Structure 1
Amino acid sequence: MNREALNGRAHYRAWREIGTRWSDNDIYGHINNIVYYGWFDTAVNAWLIEAGLLDIDRGDLIGLVVETGCRYASPLSFPQRVDIGLAVERIGKTSVSYALGAFSKNADEASAAGRFVHVYVDRQSRRPTPLPEAWRKALESIAV
């Protein structure tokens, strides 16, 4: 079976370094698949907070994850520093599709590639809400 290669570092526009933890390794000696989703969620939300978009305590707009996925190419393990790359692939009326890559520190090839889709909703009603212009502009700055 021929698998499409994962995107390299050049595909991503924002970065977050993550330190692996002792408990991240599974019985097979590599990072368990569920840990990658935590890394991806951290990378997206930290970027949104640092960009001044997401106020997790009082903001009217919050993102709900409606779709995720991950492809794995090579193992990562503790103790290791991991770079998580982030890019926006699509900006909809109320949703955003994020591309994420997990890289061994300074490696050019991704060990894993993920996808997250957030639908942005009103905090109180939980109904989809159009993305404000400030959000669109910031998200476009890391779009591919």
Structure 2
Amino acid sequence: MTENTSDSYVTLELPVQWGNMDAAQHVNNTVYLRWMESARIEMFKKMHGGDFKFRRIVPILAWQDCKYIFPVTYPDQVIITLDVIELMEDRVLCEGKIYSKNHDRLAAISKTLLMAYDMEELKKHPFPEAWRKTFIDYYGESILK
């Protein structure tokens, strides 16, 4: 890859499936969003000490966009990275990148906004301190806003 993906908080490699493609003979746009979802699941597990069993406070997706740069086709492998670029009191802004391994190039960039949500009170919640500490320990205080 043209970029060092091993420095990212999450790096995930997935195979492109034949069924991921659409009538235009490239991976359907919705699949890119699912790949980013898979990276977020890995991030949630990592920030929660490897456990994916959340209790009262859970992370939820508040917003997402995706810029499609290069069409991915079958057969290929994609490498997905996910990093925190801004940590706020009650939310975190992440940037994900999807790379085509066969073409050795960036295929898409996605930004996501994640919030903490209280499942008992059914409202947003300040980002738990343990989650914040995980990101600050990894990136340093430069991500604080």
TM-score (norm 2): 0.82
Distance of 1:53 and 1:122 partners within structure 2? 20
| Secondary structure at the counterpart of residue 78 of structure 2 | strand
Higher relative contact order (CA 8 A, sep 6+): 1
The partner residue of 2:120 within 124, 128, 143 is: 124
Bigger helix share = 2
Q: Which runs of no fewer than 5 residues in structure 1 stay unpaired?
A: 1-7
Deviation at 1:58, TM superposition (A): 4.3
Aligned to 2:3: 9
| Secondary structure at the counterpart of residue 95 of structure 2 | strand
Whether the 8 Å contact between 1:67 and 1:116 is mirrored in structure 2 is yes
Aligned residues: percent identity?
24
The partner residue of 1:67 within 57, 63, 66 is: 63
| Secondary structure at the counterpart of residue 32 of structure 2 | helix
Deviation at 1:50, TM superposition (A): 3.2
Q: How well do the aligned residues superpose, as a CA RMSD in angstroms? A: 2.3
Distance of 1:36 and 1:133 partners within structure 2? 31
Q: CA 1:15 to 1:41, structure 2 compared with 1: closer, same or farther past 3 Å?
A: same
Counterpart mapping for 1:18-29 below 5 A? 18-29=14-25
User: CA-to-partner distance for each residue in 1:82-113, whole Å, 9 max, x for gaps?
Assistant: 00011101111111111000001276531100
Aligned to 1:40: 36
Aligned to 1:50: 46
AA partner of residue 110 (structure 1): L
| Secondary structure at the counterpart of residue 61 of structure 2 | strand
Number of residues of Structure 1 aligned to a counterpart in Structure 2: 137
Deviation at 1:10, TM superposition (A): 4.3
Distance of 1:91 and 1:21 partners within structure 2? 34
Distance of 1:77 and 1:142 partners within structure 2? 33
Q: Which runs of no fewer than 5 residues in structure 2 stay unpaired?
A: none
